[in-house]
Amino acid sequence: MTIRTVSELVEQGFEGIENEISICTDCQLHKTVTNRVISKGSRSPKIVFVGEAPGKNEDETGIPFCGRAGKNLDAMVAYMGLSEDDYSVINTIKCRPPNNRNPLKSEINACKPFLQAQIKLLNPKVIILLGNTAEKAFCNGEKLDWGAPRIVDGKYTLLKIYHPAALIYQRSRIEEQNTLIDNNRHLWE
């Protein structure tokens, strides 16, 4: 197991973090992964979307949110009025759990320095947590209300909304999600 601090990772920059992720063996997921899923989008975004974990399509391509949930995220980004330069997408863990199971706490903890270093380098104005797993990974057990912004350390605003995959199976939540977005547009516009 390699010990990596957030500050050591940040010093390495984006390429260094990507390299460290590509060789990481800190949890068992490295044994079954096809591609590590690191990020997509701007390197100087207003908003960082934090997802849960790569799925089958993401594992095959190495690109976050490229499957059905990705289409919902794309629609959400369009609804928010964001351009490609306005956002970045990362996941709490970088390797797909077998059979798309939820990430284990040990897997989340193994990837946490990567997540924290990516956010520090991206330096967004707003961090949008996509669902409960992203909240658990990012907030250390603290619960956020859906769509209720919280300013953290005077640096950025944290906001939890529904994961795009949840909208595949609960289409009725799309309107509710749009209301959460509409109520928070002032954060990024």
Supply the pLDDT for residue 89: 98
Supply the pLDDT for residue 171: 86
Supply the pLDDT for residue 4: 75
**CATH code assigned to 6-187:** 3.40.470.10
CA distances for 183 relative to 15, 40, 167, angstroms: 36, 26, 19
pLDDT digits (tens, 9 = 90+) for 106-116: 999 999 999 99
**Contact (Cβ atoms closer than 8 angstroms) between residue 40 and residue 63:** yes
Name the phi and psi angles at 45, rounded to 5.
-85, 160
Residues whose CB is less than 8 angstroms from the CB of residue 33 and which lie 6 or more positions away in sequence, other chains included: 59, 95, 96
**Contact (Cβ atoms closer than 8 angstroms) between residue 178 and residue 80:** no
Question: For residue 150, what are its two tokens?
Answer: 């919280």
Residue ranges in the chain modelled with pLDDT below 50: none
Q: Where are the domains of the chain?
A: 6-187
Supply the pLDDT for residue 61: 96
Between strands 150-152 and 47-51, the pairing is unpaired
Supply the pLDDT for residue 2: 64
Q: In a 3-state reduction of DSSP, which class is residue 52?
A: coil
Question: For residue 3, what are its two tokens?
Answer: 């010990």
- The position carrying tokens 């990020």 is 39
pLDDT digits (tens, 9 = 90+) for 177-187: 999 999 999 99
Sequence letter at residue 39: S
Which helix (H) or strand (E) covers residue 22, if one does? Answer: helix 6-23
Distance between CA atoms of 126 and 122, rounded to whole angstroms? Answer: 11
* Mean pLDDT computed over every residue of the chain: 94
Question: For residue 17, what are its two tokens?
Answer: 């973090």
Q: In a 3-state reduction of DSSP, which class is residue 46?
A: coil
